[in-house]
A and B are shown apart, each in its own frame.
Chain A
Amino acid sequence: MKKFFAQAYLWLLLAMLYAPILIIAIFSFTEAKVLGNWTGFSTKLYTSLFSGGVHHSLLSAIENTFIIAIVSAAIATVLGSIAAIGIFNLRNRQKMIMNTLNNIPMLNPDIITGISLFLLFVSLGITQGYATVILAHVTFCTPYVVLCVMPRLQQMNPNIYEAALDLGATPGQALRKVLMPEIKPGMISGFILAFTLSIDDFAVTIFTIGTEGLETLSTYIYADARKGGLTPELRPLSTIIFVTVLLLLITINVRAQRAQKAKEKELK
Chain B
Amino acid sequence: MKRGSWSFPYFIFLLIFVVLPLALIFLYAFQDAEGNFTLKNFSKFISSPEAANTFVYSIGVAIITTVLCILLGYPAAYILSNSELCRSKVMVVLFILPMWINILVRTLATVALFDFLRLPLGEGALIFGMVYNFLPFMIYPIYNTLQKMDHSYIEAAQDLGASPMTVFTKVVAPLSMPGVMSGVMMVFMPTISTFAIAELLTMNNIKLFGTTIQENINNGMWNYGAALSLIMLVIIFATNLFSDSEEQTNNEGII
Q: Footprint of B on A, CB under 8 Å?
A: 2-3, 6-7, 9-10, 13-14, 16-21, 23-24, 27, 35-36, 79-80, 82-83, 85-91, 94, 98, 101-113, 115-120, 122-123, 135-136, 138-139, 142, 146-147, 151, 155, 161, 171, 196, 199-200, 202-203, 207, 217-218, 221-222, 225, 230, 234, 238, 241-242, 245-246, 249-250, 253-254, 256-257
Minimal beta-carbon separation of B216 from chain A (angstroms): 10
- Mask, B71-86, CB within 8 Å of A = 1, is 0100110011010111
Interface residues on B, range: 35 or more
Minimal beta-carbon separation of A139 from chain B (angstroms): 4
The reply to whether B112 and A36 form a contact with Cβ atoms under 8 Å apart is yes
**Can you offer 11 A-B residue contacts whose CB atoms are under 8 A?**
A20-B113, A83-B6, A98-B11, A108-B233, A111-B232, A118-B217, A142-B13, A171-B1, A200-B102, A230-B108, A234-B105
For the complex, is B101 an interface residue (Cβ under 8 Å from A)? yes
Complex CA gap A107/B239 in Å reads 10
16 additional contacts (CB under 8 A) given A21-B98, A115-B213: A6-B86, A24-B108, A86-B6, A90-B7, A111-B232, A117-B21, A119-B21, A119-B226, A199-B102, A202-B103, A203-B194, A218-B103, A221-B105, A222-B196, A242-B100, A249-B93
Complex CA gap A203/B193 in Å reads 9
The reply to whether B229 and A250 form a contact with Cβ atoms under 8 Å apart is no
The reply to whether B217 and A221 form a contact with Cβ atoms under 8 Å apart is no
Q: With a CB–CB cut-off of 8 A, which chain B residues contact A107?
A: 185, 189, 236, 240
Among the 9-residue stretches B22-30, B152-160, B246-254, the one with 4 or more Cβ atoms under 8 Å from chain A is B22-30
Complex CA gap A217/B80 in Å reads 32
The SS class assigned to the B binding surface is helix
Complex CA gap A96/B80 in Å reads 33
Complex CA gap A164/B108 in Å reads 54
The reply to whether A199 and B100 form a contact with Cβ atoms under 8 Å apart is yes
Q: Which residue of A lies closest to B62 (CB)?
A: A109
Please tell me which one of the listed residues A20, A87, A103, A202 contacts residue B7 in the complex, with CB atoms under 8 A apart: A87
The reply to whether A82 and B10 form a contact with Cβ atoms under 8 Å apart is yes
The reply to whether B13 and A85 form a contact with Cβ atoms under 8 Å apart is no
The reply to whether B112 and A23 form a contact with Cβ atoms under 8 Å apart is yes
Please tell me which one of the listed residues A2, A23, A109, A110 contacts residue B116 in the complex, with CB atoms under 8 A apart: A23
The reply to whether B192 and A109 form a contact with Cβ atoms under 8 Å apart is yes
For the complex, is B200 an interface residue (Cβ under 8 Å from A)? yes
Q: With a CB–CB cut-off of 8 A, which chain B residues contact A241?
A: 100-102
Q: With a CB–CB cut-off of 8 A, which chain B residues contact A110?
A: 190, 193
The reply to whether B103 and A102 form a contact with Cβ atoms under 8 Å apart is no
Complex CA gap A199/B102 in Å reads 7
For the complex, is B9 an interface residue (Cβ under 8 Å from A)? yes
The reply to whether B9 and A82 form a contact with Cβ atoms under 8 Å apart is yes
The reply to whether B10 and A23 form a contact with Cβ atoms under 8 Å apart is no
The reply to whether B79 and A86 form a contact with Cβ atoms under 8 Å apart is no
Please tell me which one of the listed residues B1, B76, B196 contacts residue A13 in the complex, with CB atoms under 8 A apart: B76
Complex CA gap A87/B116 in Å reads 51
The reply to whether B10 and A80 form a contact with Cβ atoms under 8 Å apart is yes
Please tell me which one of the listed residues A23, A85, A113, A151 contacts residue B113 in the complex, with CB atoms under 8 A apart: A23
Contact A242 B25, CB 8 Å, known A9-B75, A17-B132, A109-B189: no
Q: Which residue of A lies closest to B136 (CB)?
A: A17
In B1-36, the 8 Å CB interface with A consists of 1-11, 13-14, 17-22, 24-25, 28
The reply to whether A85 and B3 form a contact with Cβ atoms under 8 Å apart is yes
